[in-house]
Amino acid sequence: MALVGLNFTKISAERKGASENVRVESNVAITNVIEAKMPDPKKTILKFQFLFTSKFEPNIGLIELNGELIEMYDKDLGGKILEGWNKSKSLHKDVAPRILNAILAKSNIEAIIMSKELGLPSPIQMPKVEVKPKAASSVDKSESKSESKIEKDKKK
């Protein structure tokens, strides 16, 4: 198994309005799996076509990313994956997490960029730093530790 490529084929983003309480629902779905031509008869190339969406509710925005992830497999495994898709429209349990995680990694980054350009909230909850007040004695101790570290650095 080797990742050959991951490309977007269509990018769409829309902002419809504004709201204070925005919920973001993101989803990725594999829409099709097709076999591509490969000169090596021992290998199979599969294209996993996908649709990634981020919906900003209540109906204030939508980001849609269509694309395809291309992977190369040994002929046997590639055949099993394609056969499973054609029968049940679901991915083989051994490859689904890796494929979906690769799609999510690239799609989420693109969705963050697009949401910023449109003035929509980030589709991913970003980490936030919170400062909690400490007791006076523990603040004094941490300050003295910082001071002593600075003094040590000056001596070097």
Q: What is the CA radius of gyration of the chain?
A: 24
Instruction: Provide the residue range defining the domain that includes 9.
Output: 2-118
In a domain, 127, yes or no: no
Give Cβ neighbours of residue 155 (< 8 Å, ≥ 6 apart).
Answer: none
CA dihedral sign, ordered 78, 84, 89, 94: negative
In a domain, 143, yes or no: no
What's the pLDDT tens digit per position in 78-107? 889 999 899 999 888 888 999 999 999 999
Residue 127, pLDDT score: 82
Number of compact structural domains in the chain: 1
In a domain, 44, yes or no: yes
In a domain, 113, yes or no: yes
In a domain, 146, yes or no: no
Torsion of CA 116, 118, 121, 123, to 10 degrees: -80
In a domain, 154, yes or no: no
In a domain, 156, yes or no: no
